[in-house]
Structure 1
Amino acid sequence: MSVLSKDCVQYLTIAAEEAGQRLDNYLFRILKGVPKSHVQRIIRNGEVRINKKRSKGIDRLQEGDLVRLPPVRMAQKPIHTTPIPAKEFDIIFEDDCLLVINKPAGVAVHGGSGVSFGVIEQLRQARPEARYLELVHRLDKDTSGLLMIAKKRSALVRLHEDIRNNHPQKIYWALGVGTWPETVHQVRLPLAKYTGAQGEKMVRIDAEGQHALTLFKVQKRFSGNLLHQIGLSHLTLLQATLKTGRTHQIRVHMQSQQCPIAGDERYGDYQANKRLQKIGLKRMFLHAAELHIRHPLLGDMLHLTAPLPTDLQQFLQQWSPDAV
């Protein structure tokens, strides 16, 4: 893509990885800081043209198209901005269209909501030559594990299609505070988003919410004197497989069974979290461990794994597991 100064008319040539997008969505992405209403207005007024012709927002871009943009005023950046540090992450898989990394806990996947930058911004800084890097999905800031980044738009479109059809298999490890019910092997409860008292994004069980299904399998149960000494009776290590991909799905489904995730500050047990923190659990115990997906362009099956982080392994080693 070639771009002239934003103080004059711009002419943008659509590259192969940008083809297939709607014109309005393409402009929303490249004109960050410009209100969407203004972008839609300049399209309606005929100020945006594709190959010298008036266009609609729903028109699809093709490789080689020449897009004309009028001068636009971008939102001014704050004078004091935090530089985005370039950073590469532990690579689990990479080829010319897909990158899968092992995201560490405590790092947001993207900037926003009080976070200056995240994984995707740091990767773009580390790879200035990369023409396309976009998140395929998201992980919560305090969740570690497998995260997919598309390196071509065709890969992003295909992966999003598979996600809508629930094709990728995502398997997580989670430690619950309490005893997981022996008869519960799946939780099928609808989830709805709402805004918490502090303006935070929250999710709850709601009959009017979106369908959500998680499969659970007990891996280990922990009890005994060491736990009793800190005022807890049981911990349960679970394998959780997402059949749908709703926001905070595993966290809310585990909370619904009175076995919330250890260290979960939003849906967990506050007192239990304080006790666990004193003996070494410094984060939420949720890790995206396995990913089974079709390669977005080749169609081959990829079976990717990320080992449980060292801090979580060491925390588990304190306890002697019960017989399951």
Structure 2
Amino acid sequence: MNWAIDIDRDDVTQATLANDPVVALAEGQVRVHLDSYAMTANNITYAVFGKPAGLFGNDQGYWDFFAERGEPGRLPVWGFATVTESGAEGVSVGDRFYGYYPMASDAVLTVGKPGRGGFTDVTPRRTTLPPIYNNYQRIEALADYRAADHDYWPVFRPLFLTGWLIADQFEDEGDYGVQQILIASASSKTAIGLGFALKQRADRPETIGLTSAANVDALTAQGIYDRVVSYDQIMTLNATTPAALVDMAGNGAVTRSVHSHFGSQLQASIVVGKSHWDAQADAEGLPGPERQGFFAPGRSQKRIADWGPQVFGQKIAEAWLAFMDVAPRLAAIDKRSGGEAALAAYQEMLSGRADPQKGILITP
């Protein structure tokens, strides 16, 4: 029996393992079986913003990718899948694709624009959602895919891309005129992607990873940041040096500490994720700059318009392959199998108990 994880749209702590009946395909649809997908803090951000939150510029949220209104939420995940049944021209049984799937054993997708590189899902509710989430890429067409990196793709690829895009925005904005970039939740995989991308630049601000005291030594040993400082030591940082904050997890207490300490010397405060979904936002009356959100799909679309898709793809490929050369020492792959393990992994990530030095990979 196929399975899926159903999540209460109003209370993301309420999740159940459900049987997922097999329905007949309509013309133009394919059924895929998920080979593997990652469970990361990024997925918790998807759950928090599952309902309409203004991110997409419309009244849709992340729940709208894989469930109709009124149905339980199906959490989006990144992974690989194999076509097991096809009613669509240009896509055959056995074809394998990297892309965005529901947290389930199987999924039905509606094929549009099939080609050598893959296809676009054109399910009606998805057509007004960001294109980057609707593209399914054939493994054979991924220019920067290496078999040795296979398990790291679901774990790191979307998060590294987000980190790389943040680093690109800093460079594009002249680093906001700062001399130090503070990266909160520095052990998160998106933060590591940002730190790595910044480190490739010869002329850049100092990078300071902010993390819990228990993570300082391990994170320092990775060599991603110039310095690693625990949250309770924020007040020891030089408040007279212009700084920027990148908040990866939405922890209000950390944000307030940084804003209060740096005041007018804080030149930018960028919010990326909300994996600390249960933390008080505590953003009212903060000294320093207004907090600005970062939305990776929007930044991607800007750069594709600026450079063209080919140049954009080349830049990502070069950065990704360089990162893959060091990724195995940054996180060990933690493989888990089946629906019960998938539900447990979601609950573990939601509770904040997951080990940041591991990449959870589910094989349905």
TM-score band by shorter chain is under 0.3
Larger Rg belongs to: 1
- Which structure has more RCO (C-alpha within 8 Å, separation ≥ 6)? 2
Q: Normalised by the size of structure 2, how large is the TM-score? A: 0.25
By percentage of residues, which structure has more helix? 2
